[in-house]
Amino acid sequence: MVLGRHLVLCIITYMLFSWQQAGLFHSGLRLLASDKELLVKLRRKTGYSFVNCKKALEKFNNDAKQAETWLHQQAQKEGWNKASKLQGRKTAEGLVGLLQEGNTAVMVEVNCETDFVARNVKFQQLVQQAALCTLRHCRSQEQHQASYSKGLIPGEEILQMKTDDVTIKDVLALTIGKLGENMLMRRAAWVMVSSDLFIGTYMHGALQPDLPSLTNMSYGKYGSLVVCRKADTDSTSNITELGRRLGQHVVGMNPLTVGSLEDESTGDAETRMLAQPFLLEPSLTVGQYLHPHGVQVLDFVRFECGEETHTP
């Protein structure tokens, strides 16, 4: 019995030696190493699991391009399947994304189930892509003679916008498929102003994103855009800081209208912005605070993540 085992081992050793001498053993190793390298590259490029990447490469005989296309198609299909299964689950968390570029600023709200997912890089990428699409949409609008224009966009309309050759609807499906939570493209708003106006912006509860983000984009739970007519004497830095303070007031005090300088404050229940006690100097109303600066507030937009709203 022992002799038989020894004989089998000798035969196996001889065969391996023969393959090595013939170059077959090493070429097999090289092939395996090459396959592994291709698998790793596909995994890094797509972000899908090793199992799915291996399956895709085997399906298309190591054609990386076809494998990648198939992976995206499958992920989209599975994402929509998962989306339909998760539909109806409460999405009270998420992020507000604020993007400002020159005389244009946009805000988007995207909801998910948990704050844990809201902090995930893939969810933040979804918010960023929705904001970029909203910015392009805003700039494509016909401009009128008015000194500023403003728009509110419902989630269903955002889903039809395209980033490269893919709709936001598809990006949403892929993100749902990868993160396994129900998500909702809630709404967006945009503002574009003429050269004699400026947009004050503020983000409350801002988080440090996990992705290489746009330098002019921020993420948080509350955001605001405030349209103001600037005084000629104010410097750019003064205007930026003043706009940030006004945005902070809008987030903190939640006014419903701008009102006018002639309005008399009705106290803590006041909902007209200019008549409200200024958040950072409560002894003054917003109107009184702005008067020496020569700045006028014309309009504002406020987003609170997860709030009940009748915004179209």
pLDDT value at position 139?
A: 87
Token pair of 279 as six digits: 């958040």
What residue numbers bound the domain in which 205 lies?
Answer: 93-304
Same domain, 238 and 190: yes
pLDDT value at position 29?
A: 40
Same domain, 55 and 180: no
- Model pTM? 0.73
23 part of a folded domain: no
255 part of a folded domain: yes
Residues 198-211 pLDDT 10s = 999 999 987 777 66
Token pair of 296 as six digits: 């006028």
The residue among 46, 64, 87 that closes a domain is 87
Residues 30-59 pLDDT 10s = 445 667 888 888 877 776 767 788 888 988
pLDDT value at position 31?
A: 41
Fill in the amino acid letter for 248. Q
Rounded to 10 deg, the angle between the 168-179 and 64-86 helix axes is 80
Pick out the chain residues at pLDDT < 70: 1-34, 47, 49, 78-87, 142-145, 210-213, 232-237, 310-312
pLDDT value at position 47?
A: 64
Rounded to a whole number of angstroms, the distance between the first and last alpha carbons of the chain is: 83
Token pair of 177 as six digits: 């498929």
pLDDT value at position 290?
A: 94
Fill in the amino acid letter for 94. G
Burial class (CB in 10 A: 0-12, 13-18, 19+), 263: middle
Same domain, 280 and 250: yes
Q: Which residue has the tokens 């996990």?
A: 210
Cα radius of gyration (the chain): 29
Distance CA 98, CA 189 (A): 10
Same domain, 251 and 206: yes
pLDDT value at position 16?
A: 45
Token pair of 281 as six digits: 């100097």
Token pair of 223 as six digits: 């955001």
Q: Are 305 and 93 spatial neighbours (Cβ–Cβ below 8 Å)?
A: yes
235 part of a folded domain: yes
pLDDT value at position 210?
A: 67
pLDDT value at position 5?
A: 56
pLDDT value at position 43?
A: 78
How many domains does the chain contain in total?
A: 2
